[in-house]
Amino acid sequence: MSKLKRVVKMPVQFAKETSFAPEIRKILEHLVNDPDREGLARTPERVEKALRFLTSGYRMDLRRVVNDALFRVKYDEMVIVKDIEFFSMCEHHLLPFFGKVHVAYLPKGHVIGLSKIPRIVDVFARRLQIQERMTQEIAQTIKTMIDPAGVGVICEARHFCMMMRGVEKQHSGAVTSAMLGEFRSRKSTRDEFLALTGHSPG
Ligand SMILES: [Zn+2]
């Protein structure tokens, strides 16, 4: 298998295709005393549709997402894609967390089409997640796909489970990072990435 074809293999998980709208309706019965009112009548179906979309990353095939947009290059300077918006769902509360992801890597013979990086982010954001794992998964995927000299991913997010429930509001903004290869071993590389994304090198 050529290096270009050596794209990360992800288990494509297919959830049960039967409707779970009746279960959403049961949840509504626990929450309100008039689950039959007009405004709630079609809510179970809408919630099901929304949840299926918000977890559609489980059913995406990374190879198709990237669609062979891996290119051979001589370029070996840092590639950086900043401010990639994402929306995800915290797996502890099924509430949204959202923010920005910054991705950088040092090519070692191959690059990924720039427009594919936000799509890789979506594959992992549209799952039940914790921010730390999502950050690692994005970095590991790029490492596996193009075997660069290093990968750095920074994720800045705000969590509804903290903001809405009135707990730990001061920590509602969280920053996570994954530094692989030269982003881990070379301080100057890491510092360049941090500076380019508005973070002070630590
Ligand atoms: Zn949560």
pLDDT of residue 167: 63
Average pLDDT score over the chain: 90
Is 90 one of the annotated active-site residues of the chain?
yes
Is 159 one of the annotated active-site residues of the chain?
yes
For residues 175-202, average pLDDT = 93
**Cα 125 to ligand 1 centroid, rounded to whole Å:** 14
Cβ atoms of 153 and 102 closer than 8 Å:
yes
Q: Find where tokens 């979506």 sit.
A: 122
For residues 88-98, average pLDDT = 96
pLDDT of residue 13: 54
R_g (Cα) of the chain, nearest Å: 20
How far apart CA 152 and CA 135 sit, in angstroms, is 9
Q: Is residue 39 helix, strand or coil?
A: helix
pLDDT of residue 84: 98
- Tens-digit pLDDT profile for residues 135-175: 999 999 999 999 999 999 999 999 998 888 866 565 568 99
Is 171 one of the annotated active-site residues of the chain?
no
Exactly one of 92, 132, 168, 171 is catalytic; which is it? 92
Residues 6+ positions from 172 with CB-CB distance below 8 Å: 158, 159, 162, 163
Global pTM? Answer: 0.89
Is 155 one of the annotated active-site residues of the chain?
no
pLDDT of residue 2: 45
Cβ atoms of 28 and 35 closer than 8 Å:
yes
What percentage of the chain has pLDDT greater than the value 70? 88
What is the side-by-side strand order in the sheet with 150-159? Answer: 128-129, 79-90, 96-106, 150-159, 173-181
Q: Which amino acid is at 157?
A: A
**Cα 84 to ligand 1 centroid, rounded to whole Å:** 21
Exactly one of 48, 161, 192, 199 is catalytic; which is it? 161
Joined together, the tokens standing for residue 194 give 């941090």
80 pLDDT exceeds 60?
A: yes
Beta strands in 30-149 (DSSP E): 70-72, 79-90, 96-106, 110-112, 128-129
Q: Pairing mode, if any, of strands 96-106 and 79-90?
A: antiparallel
Give residue 1's pLDDT band: very low, low, confident or very high (50, 70, 90): very low
